[in-house]
Amino acid sequence: MRRRDFIALLGGAAAAWPPMARAAGKIARVGIIDDAPPWQPFRQELRDLGYIEGRNIEFEYRRADGVPERLDEVSRELARLPVDVIATYGTPAAQAAQRATRTVPIVIIGVGDPIGTGLVTNFARPGDNITGNSILSADVVSKRLQVLKDAIPSVSRIALLWNPDNASNIAILQETQKAAPLFHMTLDLLEARTPDNFDSVFAQMSSNRPDALLTTNDPVHQSQMGRVIDFLAKNRIAGMFQLRQNVADGGLMAYAASVPDLFRRGAAYVDKILRGTKPGDLPIEQPLTFELIVNLKTARAIGVDFPQALLARADEVIE
């Protein structure tokens, strides 16, 4: 996979955010919610920046598994310790951290719509105690539908798996509703708030079969993504995913920002804050470019014949 460039807007240091966590002899404490393999590039980037666990940095891990009540609880725990920075991935965890504290710096990673969800007021100067990056650019939904149409020209009926409890999913829904008619596509909505809703989702797709399913990186949905991928394979339905890992696990294709890059950039924010920069003075980053990942084995299994032009522009082809 090629590592794509992101907008680098981490300017020079501003007035110090007290206390400066990298003061001589002080061990920085970074809170992480729902540690998982995607966090490894975050820790590696901090090591590359000179942070050695047990020597000048410690990580406080709390698990919530995407459950809203637990997210609020663990966010409050981290704020009470307190830690020097709370790092979060995705919108629900970011919002929980925001509810827990207005003073502890928060670095958000991979949030869909930072302004629309009320996390920040603008990208250039987010203000308060929050900064970080977004996983979406303004026109990514249209680009994703264009890639889907290029891959499978016959696609006319799509379904969106979404979670009404995830504010970023609401933004994706609204953009998809606007964009689908431009590609002569009709849109079905598949609502899933909890893992228990997925039997209903599969029943809906069985009785009202779409040509393709679009997914998000919602934590509840990602916890069930193995089931989703299996259902699509058995029913020979194309899947357009937002995460590369979903394609590596057997999904058909993804058009998405590089999650490892998002985490590496998140670590750069943490470094800036620990060195004294106010989080509100660090602009929110948006991805400039996205990666196209396709799974040829899955394509053959469900009867999709990718055009050579699309394969030529893919960033990664899994066989």
- Residue ranges of domains in the chain, CATH in brackets: 28-136+258-281 (3.40.50.2300), 140-256+291-318 (3.40.50.2300)
* Chain centre distance of CA 304: 27
For Cα atoms 27, 38, 251, give the angle at the middle one, nearest 5 degrees.
Answer: 175
CB within 8 Å of 201: residues ≥ 6 apart: 161, 190, 191, 192
Walk along the chain (319 residues) and give the pLDDT tens digit of each residue. 444 443 333 433 333 344 444 555 689 999 999 988 889 999 999 999 999 999 999 999 999 987 888 999 999 999 999 999 999 999 999 999 999 999 999 999 999 889 988 999 999 999 899 999 998 765 789 999 999 999 999 999 999 999 999 888 988 999 999 999 999 999 999 999 999 999 999 999 999 999 999 999 898 999 999 999 999 999 999 999 999 999 999 999 999 888 899 999 999 999 999 999 999 999 999 887 789 999 999 999 999 999 999 999 999 999 9
Query: What is the model's pLDDT at position 1?
Result: 42
Q: Taking each helix axis from N to C terminus, what angle separates 198-207 and 225-234, rounded to the nearest 10 degrees? A: 20
pLDDT of residue 200: 98
Q: What is the pLDDT of residue 14?
A: 36
Report the DSSP pairing between strands 106-111 and 85-89.
Answer: parallel
**Dihedral sign, Cα of residue 165, residue 171, residue 176, residue 177:** positive
Residue linked to tokens 């039997």: 199
Contact between 229 and 239 (Cβ < 8 Å): yes
Please tell me the distance from the alpha carbon of residue 128 to that of residue 135, in angstroms, as a whole number: 21
CB 120 within 8 A of CB 97: no
- Kindly report the backbone phi and psi dihedral angles of residue 36, in degrees, each rounded to the nearest multiple of 5, phi listed first: -160, 175
- State the Cα–Cα distance between residues 211 and 180, nearest whole angstrom: 13
- Cβ neighbours around 208 below 10 Å, total: 11
What pLDDT is stored for residue 121 in this prediction?
92
**What per-residue confidence (pLDDT) applies to 126?**
94
